[in-house]
Amino acid sequence: MHHESPIRRRKTRQIHVGKVAIGGDAPISVQSMTNTETRDIAATVAQIRRLEAVGADIVRISVPSMDAAEAFKAIRAQVETPLVADIHFDHRIALQVMEDGVDGLRINPGNIGSLDKTRLVVEMAKDKGIPIRIGVNAGSLEKDIQEKYGEPTPEALVESALRHVSILDELNFHDVKISVKASDIFLAVSAYRQLSEKVDYPLHLGITEAGGLRSGTVKSAIGLGLLLRDGIGDTIRVSLAADPVEEIRVGFDILKSLHLRQKGINLIACPSCSRQEFDVITTINALEARLEDILEPMDVSVIGCVVNGIGEAKEADIGLAGGDKRSILYYRGKQVDRVENSDIVDVLEKRIRAEIAERQAARHDG
């Protein structure tokens, strides 16, 4: 039961961050950013590996100094994921990380000094096939733009973005993606909508400084959801004051809910009520924890009674409808077994893993 998304995505040109395509007809990628001290190589590598394990497509690393650039070289050698270096002001850091195998730069060409310095960075990026993200943020607009508009407005963010784009255009560099982030949903959404009408570059979506795990997830889901529903957005980053692993999980959950990308188990569960025949909440939490490592897309329905349970179970790859002491297990729409309610988590996990193994074997044989 994998639904086609009704969303028609806006046509954008395609770029590549390492092996990951962004824009065009490529799947919307999900990225995060390390929050370790970059110079702590072991901690940063460990965090990137945790992000890889939950399916991160791209990881961004802050490289604020030449010391951090040295560390970046060691980090790059130890991980597979495409890495983007986040750089402000100093063009020499950009040149260094490009030598050391970076896959993308987040650098605003208007902020790294003279046109000559910008040209050095752009020529090297062109030579090595490294894309540049222009990242405009409502909290750090250029002084003259702040004065012109008085406060961050969608028009101010777009003007700043287009100013940076024009520098790259003049240097005949088009391997570009753009973000116009703000912590206010309406400001960010309006800026992205306006920008999407003015350029065909791929857009990197984010609601910046969205907040803690729960409030930031809600804000990001609404802000990114409004844009994605319009077909706007080619790569997303959920900004949470939380473990970056959660940013990846929430990002995939947002895409999954819009049928834009399937990754991992899509658990369909009732909110639980007095009709429930087993403890739905405990069961779902236990299943989520046990199935975190699975990236294969699959719909699994766990409903506490037969009122909605049977209908949902028939639609899912694997489904369970709650019954008195024993619940009914469905597989590909057909009833296959009854399960003791005390065994639900174990039985479902076993079934799900067996199904994944079967799919992988079939693909291998095919």
Q: What is the pLDDT of residues 189-227, one digit of tens each?
A: 999 999 999 999 999 999 998 789 999 999 999 999 999
Count Cβ atoms within 10 A of the Cβ of residue 117 and give its class: 0-12 exposed, 13-18 middle, 19 or more buried: middle
- Determine the pLDDT at residue 167: 95
Better pLDDT: 262 or 98: 98
Q: What percent of the chain has pLDDT over 90?
A: 87
Which residues on adjacent β-strands are paired with residue 86?
62, 106
pTM of the model as a whole: 0.90
263 pLDDT band (50/70/90 cuts)? confident
The pLDDT of residue 347 is: 96
**pLDDT for position 113:** 81
Per-domain residue ranges of the chain: 15-257, 265-365
Q: Is the pLDDT of residue 1 over 60?
A: no
pLDDT number for residue 238: 97
What does the pLDDT read at residue 38? 97
The top-level CATH class assigned to 15-257 is alpha beta
Contact predicate 108/87, CB 8 Å:
no
Confidence bin at 365 (pLDDT 50/70/90): confident
Higher local confidence (pLDDT), 21 or 266? 21
pLDDT of 346 over the 60 cut:
yes
Which of the residue ranges 124-128, 188-192, 361-365 would you say has the lowest mean pLDDT? 361-365
Q: Is the pLDDT of residue 295 over 90?
A: no
Question: Of the CATH numbers 3.40.190.10, 2.60.40.10, 3.30.413.10, 3.40.640.10, which one belongs to the domain with range 265-365?
Answer: 3.30.413.10
- Check: CB of residue 117 under 8 Å from CB of residue 132: no
* pLDDT > 60? residue 65: yes
pLDDT-derived band at 3, boundaries 50, 70, 90: low
User: Residue 209's pLDDT is what?
Assistant: 82
SS3 271: coil
Whether 207 contacts 156, CB under 8 Å: no
pLDDT (0 to 100) of residue 2:
55
Mean pLDDT of the chain: 94
Beta strands in the chain (DSSP E): 15-17, 20-22, 29-33, 58-62, 83-86, 104-106, 132-137, 176-181, 204-205, 235-237, 265-269, 298-303, 318-321, 326-331, 334-340
In this prediction, residues 123-149 reach a mean pLDDT of: 95
Are the CB atoms for 151 and 184 separated by under 8 Å? no
Mean pLDDT of 79-101: 96
48-64 b/e (C-beta count within 10 Å ≥ 16 → b): bebbeebbbbbbbbbbe
Burial track 330-354 (b if 16+ CB lie within 10 A, e otherwise): bbeeeeeeebebeebbebbbebbee
Which pLDDT value is given to residue 262?
85
| pLDDT for res 330 | 96
